[in-house]
């Protein structure tokens, strides 16, 4: 399935674009008066759709436990940043003293 989507994105959509720019009635043959805008739109739609589907297949989905751990990690980072801001200026890192 992923290989098919790659072929769609890399071969078919540029082919639709090139043929549609030269002879738009070959690509959008069902229209009475086809123009280059519709054939270009079709090529972009195929390109974006195939790459989106390919990336959805390739990306591993996160489980609920992983998402919860990431949210806990983010809240811990925010708490650490708040604690660093609450420290006395002489306890802060020397590099950050000029920002006060």
For the stretch 28-71, pLDDT in tens is: 888 888 888 888 888 888 888 888 888 888 877 777 788 888 88
Domain extents in the chain: 2-58
CA distance 82 to 84: 5
pTM reported for the whole predicted model: 0.54
Chain segment 15-27, per-residue pLDDT in tens: 888 888 888 888 8
Residue 92 has pLDDT above 80, yes or no: no
Cβ–Cβ < 8 Å for 41, 27:
no
For 100, the token pair is 């006060």
């Amino acid at each position: 399935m992923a290989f098919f989507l790659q072929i769609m994105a890399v071969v078919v959509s540029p082919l639709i674009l090139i043929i549609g720019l030269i002879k738009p009635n070959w690509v959008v043959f069902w229209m009475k008066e086809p123009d280059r805008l519709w054939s270009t739109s079709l090529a972009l739609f195929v390109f974006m759709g195939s790459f989106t589907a390919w990336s959805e297949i390739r990306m591993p989905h996160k489980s609920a436990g992983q998402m919860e751990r990431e949210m806990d990690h983010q809240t811990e980072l925010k708490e650490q940043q708040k604690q660093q801001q609450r420290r006395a200026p002489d306890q802060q890192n020397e590099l950050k003293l000029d920002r006060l």
